Structure 1
């Protein structure tokens, strides 16, 4: 770290300490008066301006120090822990985040915004951003631990996801049945583990992603793909920015599209091990569930199913759908879905851009077999890799993620989002 960076890091630490002292004199966020909220806002704004300038000017130096000149590949939480230690005041400490985790979303200090500023700065820097994206494509330690078991038995049951090898396919079943397969921290973690296991599995050539049978009263006995983010958990402050909102995009979703990075760079050009993926939509794919379809290679929907991306209603950014949906459906339909909340039935002509085949429920198994046989041919993986390279080069992905990291963190604490989440999530 050069002298200028050291001096500015010390100045940032002092300024942040002053800001924390001012916050400490106030009641906790949920109990502050309007005047006290304004004091807190001004304190946060001053500290955040300094953090944003520092990471904008020194992202490469910071990242090199935290990764030992890019010789290590820490995940997001590890980077935050190291940054809190090496650059006091740049990101929240573990103790500060522990306090936040015990609060409702509307009653938090908003420290995830500071995490967003940090990751946004790293991703804007080309060297740091590309290394971070590649690092997050590595299989998780949990998946590596489970890989021998899956390789031998052909099945693994996690808390909210099951994986089973059937012939040359690896069937991944999302199973959060009491809340319509809504995504939460645990489901995202399990899904990334499953994607890793499928990518590393030598016994399968195609992945299949489908929702389980529901126990929720409204859809009991029916399969559902996904109802998107768990709004009750978001209201309760249980949706993690790092582990879910940013980690999901850089982890399991990115791996579905770009593959899993293996030791030594993988067996093929591009440095990742990839498999084609089929998605089966029973009943509906809403929000984050729909986002998953945009990184799959073939989508089969059951008659009567629908797709929806209610970003305007929820108020947060729908992951990387803003980057990916337009290339499938065109800019006009992307705006109608993201900005206007348009719902697309499986039989609608517009669905032809998003769904490959619509079948009766009793024909799903046969449709999956046909699709899997077609995608299991030897040339598919290399052609898929070239398609992805053309559609989403790493620099475009990095540039989008840099803005997303900041905007999504701020949207988490926007007044309209907090009000909507309180109304909808509070209904349970």
Structure 2
């Protein structure tokens, strides 16, 4: 079987049409003021040009996603992480996705002043993940340990401690204890936190002396919570309003990186015994919630094997209020809470207190604050068993197959990109920015 012509030379003519449409967008942008200063007619004109180009991107990638991915990865011999993939695509297929230079220029702008070029990245990632050939390969690439984790691994194996800006990691008594320590912002999530979390999860999984993992929030310096532990305040709205939340490096990396590794494990080509039947190194995980788990913090709880909470804690998923999609919560929360409560949480922003009966759908055990430490240690011991790993693998397979996860993430990549640049999100981000500066 011979390969067909390269996608840019295919007789369907989609690539020349796409490059022409992309050039029209660039020429029009060169004549316009920044996004926030345009007239209604100018906004309508550039929106129509973007829409025409994006329709062609979708058609081109629907027809040629596998060929594009094979070109970028050497026929799947090279495992590129998401950021590497979109950068390679910008070079190999000019006009398909924004260049690094274009994105760097946009990154310095507040969200309201951005053009929304990341939507084109969402179109590419959606097409790749939808492919039964390219999609699983990309998921495996994202399950590999990061270069940063591999660099830190020798010292961690020796000392059992790694201090990072957002996460403190300590191995003690066979437990990898990850403490989120962004005490200045109540463990609100940003790119720094995602990078540190993935590094810590990689190290915990790669360390053969670790049998169980624990995630908990550290003590805060915030005036309202000084000296108290807090789990997570969710996405950092200050960073969102100032344009610091990236589609690829934050919103997609978070889900396909460390959170997916908590579920499936890290893919390590290390020649260890048993790798023929278990290519991923996975371990059971416990989460302990002090204070609150808001937004992304609540999303995290859905992938842990056991969740404990202090009796004065609460949980919420204020996605509709923020205007974005709460990660993979839409796929996972129905298994725990059922469809009605899931809609109350996601669409209406309902807050659930740990002492409410409904909280037992989200957590395994609720204890008084001064009893949480002891309850955590009991839970860690309970999950430290020889049969736990095999059973959790089968539970995850039954609850969320790799195909189901990949299909969800394909659509999420585009829908979240569109939400990131929705006018309601822009307006809310602008109001938050004005409140923060006033």
- With the shorter chain as reference, the TM-score category is over 0.9
- 1:48-86 per-position Cα deviation (integer Å, ceiling 9, x unaligned): 111111111111111111111111111111111111111
Which position in structure 2 is the counterpart of 1:315?
323
Give the TM-score normalised by the residue count of structure 2.
Answer: 0.95
Q: Which runs of 5+ in 1 are unaligned?
A: none
Q: Deviations over 1:176-201 (max 9, x none)?
A: 11111100110011001000000001
| SS state at 1:64 partner | helix
- Contact persistence 1:105–1:237 (CA under 8 A): yes
- Which residue does 1:65 correspond to in 2? 71
Q: Which residue of 2 aligns with 1:3?
A: 5
Q: 1:24 aligns with which of 27, 30, 53?
A: 30
Question: Which residue, out of 234, 242, 267, partners 2:248?
Answer: 242
Supply the distance in 1 between the matched residues of 2:356 and 2:63 (Cα, whole angstroms). Answer: 49
Could you say which residue in structure 2 is the equivalent of 1:296? 304
Q: Verify: 1:201 aligned to 2:207, yes or no.
A: yes
Question: Relative to structure 1, is the Cα distance of residues 2 and 86 closer, same or farther in structure 2, using a 3 angstrom cutoff?
Answer: farther
Please tell me whether the aligned partners of residues 218 and 230 of structure 2 are also in contact (alpha carbons under 8 angstroms): yes
Of residues 61, 86, 92, the one that matches 1:86 is 92
Q: Is 1:265–1:272's contact at 8 Å kept on the other side of the alignment?
A: no
Q: Which residue of 2 aligns with 1:330?
A: 338
Structure 2 CA distance for aligned equivalents of residues 2 and 174 of structure 1: 50
Q: Deviations over 1:304-349 (max 9, x none)?
A: 1001000111110000000000011111111110111111111111
CA distance 1:4–1:69, shift in 2 (3 Å): closer
Aligned counterpart, 2:395: 387
Match of 1:273 in 2: 281
RMSD (CA atoms): 1.3
Instruction: Tell me the equivalent position of 1:254.
Output: 260
In the TM superposition, residue 124 of structure 1 has moved relative to its aligned partner by: 0.9
Q: 1:286 aligns with which of 278, 285, 294?
A: 294
For residues 270 and 321 of structure 1, do their structure 2 counterparts lie closer, same or farther at Cα, with a shift above 3 Å needed?
Answer: farther
Cα distance change, pair 238–13 in 1 and its aligned pair in 2 (3 A): same
Q: Which residue of 1 aligns with 2:53?
A: 47
CA distance in 2, matches of 1:427, 1:206: 42
Does the CA contact (< 8 Å) of 2:21 and 2:49 recur in 1?
Answer: no
Distance 1:355 1:420 in 2: 31
Structure 1 CA distance for aligned equivalents of residues 266 and 338 of structure 2: 28
- 8 Å Cα contact 1:232-1:426 kept in structure 2: no
Give me the TM-score of the superposition, normalised by structure 1: 0.97
Deviation of 1:424 (Å): 3.0
Is the 2:312–2:369 Cα contact (8 Å) retained in structure 1? no
Q: Residue 9 and residue 135 in structure 1: after superposition, are their counterparts in 2 closer, same or farther (change >3 A)?
A: same
Unmatched segments (≥5 aa) in structure 2: none
Pairwise CA distance, 1:202: 1.1
Q: Which residue of 1 aligns with 2:105?
A: 99
